[in-house]
Amino acid sequence: MALLDIFRPRAAAPNPATAPSTERVEPTLVKRRSFKMAKTGRLNAGWSTQSRPMAQILKADLSAMRARSNDLAQNDPYMRRFLSLCKSNIVGPDGVQLLPQARRPNGDLDEADNRTIAAAWKKWQRVAMVTGQTFRTAELTIAASVPRDGEILIRMVTGWRRNEFGFALQLIGARHLDHRLNFDRPNGNRVRLGIEYDAWQAPAAYWITTEDPTVETIALTGKRHRRIPASEIIHLFVGDWDSQGRGIPWVHAAGDRLEKLGAYEEAALVAARIGASKMGFFEEAEPDAYTNPGEDGESDLEFDDRGDIIQDAEPGHFERLPAGVQFKDWNPDYPSGEFEPFRRAMLHGVSGGVDLSYASLTGDLSQVNFSSTRYGDLQERASWRLLQSIWIDIFYERLKDAWLEAALLTGALDLPPSKIGKFREAAWQPRGWEEVDRAKAANADKTELRLGLSSRTEICARRGRSFETIVDQLAAEQAYAARKGVDVSRFSLEDPAATAGNDEKETDNA
């Protein structure tokens, strides 16, 4: 600034109303949208936020989960009940029935060929297993093994010489598919969790241990594996993750709770026994005044080697205590009523973990009524039907095609092999369920038939039966009755109440 600038007039100060503010403005807090589940805080610090590949998880945890699932199957009554329900609902009392659907060029069913296929299939089932067991036995074993172990391998053995079909099945337990076997092959295939995959991640082979991996002598002889092509193996499991590869025991979400419930019940039993055995202690109120009266025979009390009083309780019997001794009772006050609510709450969680209702898993019907039972049955049947469809798609369809090829090649199935495409057409009939109120269900079925909303085939399938089988049985009944000279048409199947109502209407009209 020059010397003369100090004598020049200065510019007026800016108007305070228009001058920019120099005060600090607090920023407004903007609430951002986010998921609470993703936040980490003091209460959920132990909850994992990292997602690992399922193959990596199974490599570390599969063996322990399978071992604990097997332990529950051997010792836990609720696990035993769950496996029993799987066998009775997935397979059922009659198994999954094959219904051949071979048709003539005009589209009609070829009844003669279908009867031939059905008879051969039934005959093979009696000699289906390499062990000599029946297919029915294998079905039940499979229905228990998959829920317990998470998976099972069924090997299709062609060229089998111990039956006329040249075809048999071998069950391979999940423990023989070594999940610790992981390496890359020179041809570019990769072995992961005991399964060999090609470039498209499709199974190319299964590496099976030639010895039982649970036997201790394997450590001495060395574990060996045998490569079996995937074309010979049916790997049956229910997958929940993409690229899962191996099956997981179905109680993986409920097993920990089941084990804790068993430990709690054992502790409660011990506490209840102690509570039932009400005990007490003898205290010396005046130690100097106490003498052992048993030494001079002046008392009928019993004493041990240390001079402690031994008391046996008898009804209406009272004993006189020595001078200076007082009795102090000890009452653990158990059970006190918390056992049953806790047990029920735990079992509700277990039943949800295995996709069953509490009443079905436990057999406890004290908290259900007809409506809740009906709703629970419908939900469970939907789950069972889903599992039945998985069984049919993965197991029965592949089995039928392989058996058909072998039976045609060996001549055990007396049909032309050139028409194998015709003979492959088939349907499957798994078990169904009867309604609780069969009369109401029958009336509803009649209404649906009258309105064209259903068919006899569909109604029979819901009950686990085949319409064709029922028609054949009715025809056989009529033919048998005719040979015996009995007119079965005399036995009316009409509703007596409806018939009486129609008679009354006719009388009124007259």
Dihedrals phi, psi of 66, to nearest 5 degrees: -65, -40
Q: Is residue 207 part of a domain?
A: yes
Q: Is residue 69 part of a domain?
A: yes
Q: Based on the fold, state whether residues 301 and 220 are members of the same structural domain.
A: no
* pLDDT tens for each residue of the chain, 510 residues long: 555 555 565 655 555 555 555 566 555 555 566 788 888 888 888 888 888 889 899 999 999 999 999 999 999 999 999 999 999 999 999 999 999 999 999 999 999 999 999 999 999 999 999 999 999 999 999 999 999 999 999 999 999 999 999 999 999 999 999 999 999 999 999 999 999 999 999 999 999 998 766 554 444 445 589 999 999 999 999 999 988 899 999 999 999 999 999 999 999 888 888 777 766 666 776 655 555 555 555 555 566 666 666 666 566 566 666 777 777 777 767 767 788 999 999 999 999 999 999 999 999 888 888 777 777 788 899 999 999 999 999 999 999 999 999 999 999 999 999 999 999 999 999 999 887 777 888 888 888 888 888 888 888 888 888 888 888 888 888 888 888 888 877 765 565 555 555 555 545 554
Q: Is residue 299 part of a domain?
A: yes
Q: Is residue 365 part of a domain?
A: no
Q: Based on the fold, state whether residues 214 and 289 are members of the same structural domain.
A: no
Q: Based on the fold, state whether residues 181 and 320 are members of the same structural domain.
A: no
Q: Based on the fold, state whether residues 195 and 302 are members of the same structural domain.
A: no
N-term to C-term CA, the chain: 132
Q: Is residue 64 part of a domain?
A: yes
Q: Is residue 8 part of a domain?
A: no
Q: Based on the fold, state whether residues 65 and 103 are members of the same structural domain.
A: yes
Structure tokens at 116: 């031939």
Range(s) of the domain holding residue 196: 54-253
Among 188, 207, 199, 200, smallest CA distance to 246 is for: 207
Show contacts of 188-192: CB within 8 Å, 24+ apart.
Answer: 192/55, 192/245
CA–CA gap between residue 267 and residue 273 (Å, rounded): 10
Q: Based on the fold, state whether residues 200 and 290 are members of the same structural domain.
A: no
* Contact between 332 and 275 (Cβ < 8 Å): yes
Q: Based on the fold, state whether residues 219 and 291 are members of the same structural domain.
A: no
Q: Is residue 228 part of a domain?
A: yes
Q: Is residue 460 part of a domain?
A: no
Number of folded domains that form the chain: 2
pTM (whole model) above 0.85 = no
Q: Based on the fold, state whether residues 241 and 298 are members of the same structural domain.
A: no
∠334-335-338 over CA atoms, to 5°? 125
Q: Based on the fold, state whether residues 114 and 241 are members of the same structural domain.
A: yes
Q: Based on the fold, state whether residues 186 and 307 are members of the same structural domain.
A: no
* Contact between 353 and 361 (Cβ < 8 Å): no
Q: Based on the fold, state whether residues 102 and 247 are members of the same structural domain.
A: yes
